Copies of this chain bind each other. A is one copy, B any other.
Amino acid sequence: GLEKKILVIPGDGIGQEVTAWGQKVLMTIAKNYHHTFTFEEGVMGHVAIEATGDPLPHETLQKARNSDAILFGAIGHAKYDNDPTLKVRPEQGLLKIRKELGLYANLRPIKLFDELLEASSIKPEILRGADILFFRELTGDVYFGEKMRTADRNTASDLMIYHRYEVERIARKAYDAARTRRKKLCSVDKANVLEASRLWREVLQEVAKEYPDVETEHMFIDNAAMQLIKDPKRFDVVVTGNLFGDILTDEASQIAGSMGMLASASVGDSIGFYEPIHGSAHDIAGKGIANPLASILSAALMLDISFGLKTESQRVIKAVEATLRQGFRTMDIANKHTVNDCIMGTDAMGAKVLENLN
């Protein structure tokens, strides 16, 4: 068996409730497959600001560097959303850890479980067979460019900036993945308006030459936001910048039925970082109704990508599938049109997945 150190950072809001289940799944897998996973916990976000004044305390960062992989929950709190003038903000913790750990590639697989075909607002015949892998660049773009606010507070700016090497490395990762899939890559930018996008497109055109077996398409972000809903099956691998990736993958959650189903892996220099795509959802936090499947599927991604445990990862995905097949649903994926589904809370749903793992 493998020995691995995992740092768990539940973060804010429903992060607390759902991450517990991602961790339990990892513990069950370790037991069943004779691996030794040791867990530490770290604080980040609003909870860390409350406890230490810092959204990413030095101690958490240290623990992160000493771990083999990180399971993260969510970040954000209504207090900061309602007051844009606050200087110290939860999201700074997440952005800083992404940068410090060199997590430049955020993989977001969008795939619909057959059982959820009716849960989406999109027609089943449009969705059936859709299977997209997003590569979102995660440590550059307008997220990390210089921010400015004039002394009179009347002008504010953020620099959207990309360097060639940043585009090159994410492009290669995306092309490598496309090779193992349906060999189609769509790069999304706004090259008709933005200089950063024109650099993006130039680099993609260059890297494309190294992958003549992969079919490349360039699409403007506005068109991509439309095509994703109009015809999701036309996409295989999509590669895009930090901001456009943020927007498109949230939108794409409707392809998977619900945001509560989507996991992501952030990788780069060394350590992998795994988190649901959903946020802290403070409107439902503490109510015990959040969907734990995105955290559980994030754990599955960790097993596969960071630990190379493909069998174990597939086992988790099968357990999620089985749970859905048995008709168990959290509120967000309940089908309003059938009476057969059994709607349950976070813990009951998590427990069903654990049962199906055994």
Q: Interface readout for A241-269 with B: 1 if CB under 8 Å, 0 if not?
A: 00110111111011000010000000000
If A123-B121, A230-B121, A259-B226 touch, whether A163 touches B155 (CB-CB below 8 Å) is yes
**A271 at interface, CB cutoff 8 A:** no
The number of chain A residues with a CB under 8 A from chain B is 67
Q: Interface readout for A84-123 with B: 1 if CB under 8 Å, 0 if not?
A: 1100011100010000000000000000000000000111
Q: Which residues of B contact A248 (CB under 8 A)?
A: 225
**A143 at interface, CB cutoff 8 A:** yes
Alpha-carbon distance A223/B254, docked complex (angstroms): 11
Q: Number of copies of this chain in the oligomer?
A: 2
Q: Which of B89, B91, B222, B231 contacts A246 (CB 8 A)?
A: B222
**A81 at interface, CB cutoff 8 A:** yes
**A358 at interface, CB cutoff 8 A:** no
Alpha-carbon distance A213/B226, docked complex (angstroms): 33
Q: Interface readout for A156-169 with B: 1 if CB under 8 Å, 0 if not?
A: 11111111110000
Q: Which residues of B contact A155 (CB under 8 A)?
A: 161-164, 199
**A305 at interface, CB cutoff 8 A:** no
Q: Which of B147, B218, B226 contacts A254 (CB 8 A)?
A: B226
- Interface with B: A187-195, A306-314, A339-347, which one? A187-195
Shortest CB-to-CB span from A213 to chain B, Å, is: 21
Q: Given contacts A143-B193, A157-B159, A223-B279, could you give 10 more A-B pairs where the C-beta distance is less than 8 Å?
A: A123-B123, A142-B194, A155-B161, A155-B199, A156-B161, A156-B198, A158-B159, A158-B195, A221-B246, A230-B254
